[in-house]
Structure 1
Amino acid sequence: MTVTDQQHATHLLRLARDGDAESLECLLSSYIGYLKVLSHSQLDPRVRVRLSASDLVQESLLEAHRDFQKFAGTTTAEFTGWLRQILVHNAARAVETHLLAAKRDHRREHSLDTLRRAADESHARLDSMTAVHRRGPASEAEHQDDLTVLSNAIEKLSPEYRDVIVLRHVEGLAFAEIAVRMNRSSGAARMLWMRAIEKLRDAMSDESGVQ
């Protein structure tokens, strides 16, 4: 079951809140791409050797499924924020587990606050990218659909194209910083980004056709 024009996230959320298990499964599945894009910027590089973005997303979705009754919101914006906070907590726990060992001090809370701010900022940047492709004002359902299409399209790119898009548009890095992260010259990083943008447009067209 996938999200179609007749099955916007808003509709699925309403059905899920009414106890429809299939709608909840479909709703959570529609957020896989979005959570994966955010997780690429959430995971410390030193943690990625032990926990992949897919693992973090899967863990977060399982937790969201288990605790869905605790979700008190009514809109997809609130639901998106709720999922983002679950992702942040799991990312912080991964940092604590793999980097801080058993030490429990102020660093954990600092890490959680840092990750929370980073996730909110990443979401805002990702959200702003949808406006570029939007021709007019969007309803809440259309807005979430745009975010889903964009996230899924990014995830379908090759790793190097996906990484440069995430670094530039999700983490908000300058090309000089991207060059260092990707072990390229600044000019090469810019050229890679330009090619990635073209591929992303193609991927979004394909994804929109599916949606």
Structure 2
Amino acid sequence: GDRSQADVHHQPMVFARMSSPPVETWIAEARDGAAEPLGQLLQLYRNYLTVLATTQFDARLQRRLNPSDLVQEAMLSAHRDFRQFRGGTERELLGWLRQVLINCLHHAIETHVKARKRDVRCEVSLEQLNNRMDQSAMRLGQVLADAGSSPSARSHQRERSVALADQLAKLRPQYRDVIVLRNLQGLSFEEIAARMDRKPGAVRMLWLRAIEKLKQVYEPTE
């Protein structure tokens, strides 16, 4: 209807930071079966889902699948099954989208990893994926809280994490990678150095520059 017409032109970052975002309006319209608001709504969370998907990829899966391909699959699945979503708030939607992503991830592991190599070490339960994804989502919302900016209220952590994911997507790939590995996956500088084929000291400097850059582009409104 007319009420959403003015909202369509807002940028995703605005949604993430407004105190009473029109996201709930889009959710209501999408649940009523309106295709356009649903498409626009899901696009708001592409970066968020991509960052979370990246945290769940190990070397075996990375050789066979790209996180963005997994997210595309999750977006199509969410679009197809949106009538199963029963919530009305952004936080409820984020929880549901994470679950859709987890289901796609579990299917990908079954298909690409276990099918090729019957190995007990490949066994990953949905519960394990759930726990890891929740932990990554929580850590995402806290990325800059550790770096000296005022911590956002806990109730806004999830919405804040969407805004942070949008800004992470704009960083140089190596900046984004080091923040994901350090802040979201909790790896040591030594572990990251082995993955990135750099010295630990160089990784630490890269991480400090990456955090500084993220702080420049992300200015939360409390």
Give TM-score, length-normalised by structure 1: 0.83
Q: Is the 8 A contact 1:130 1:147 kept in 2?
A: no
Letter in 2 for 1:86: V
State whether residues 9 and 144 of structure 1, in contact with CA within 8 Å, keep that contact through their aligned partners in structure 2.
no
Matched, 1:81 2:95: yes
Q: How many Å separate the matches in 2 of 1:126 and 1:135?
A: 12
- Contact map agreement 1:92 1:108 (CA 8 A) in 2: no
Assess, with a 3 A threshold, how the Cα gap between structure 1 residues 139 and 115 changes in structure 2: closer, same or farther.
Answer: closer
Relative to the length of structure 2, the TM-score reads: 0.79
- Corresponding residue for 1:9? 23
SS of 1:164's equivalent in the other structure is helix
1:198 aligns with 2:201: no
Residue from 32, 44, 62 that aligns with 1:18: 32
**2:163 maps to which residue?**
149
**Seq. identity, %:** 46
- For structure 1, the 5+ residue unaligned runs are none
Pairing partner for 2:191 from 177, 183, 195: 177
**Higher RCO, Cα 8 Å, sep 6+:** 1
For 2:64 and 2:76, the matched residues in 1 are separated by: 19
RMSD (Å), alpha carbons: 2.8
User: What are the superposed Cα offsets for residues 155-196 of structure 1, whole Å, 9 maximum, x if unpaired?
Assistant: 111111111000111111222222222222221111010010
1:58 corresponds, among 72, 79, 84, to 72
Which piece of structure 1 moves more, 99-108 or 29-38? Answer: 99-108
Counterparts of 1:94-105 in structure 2, within 5 Å, are 94-101=108-115
Residue 43 of structure 1: how far off its partner (Å): 2.0
Segment drifting more, 44-53 vs 150-159? 44-53
Deviations 1:56-88, CA, capped at 9 Å, x for gaps? 111001100100000122222121111111111
Size of the aligned set, in residue pairs, is 205
Q: Which has the higher helix share?
A: 1
Change (3 A) 1:196 1:50: same
SS at match of 2:136: helix
1:108-123 matches, within 5 Å, as 110-123=124-137
Letter aligned with residue 156 of structure 1: K
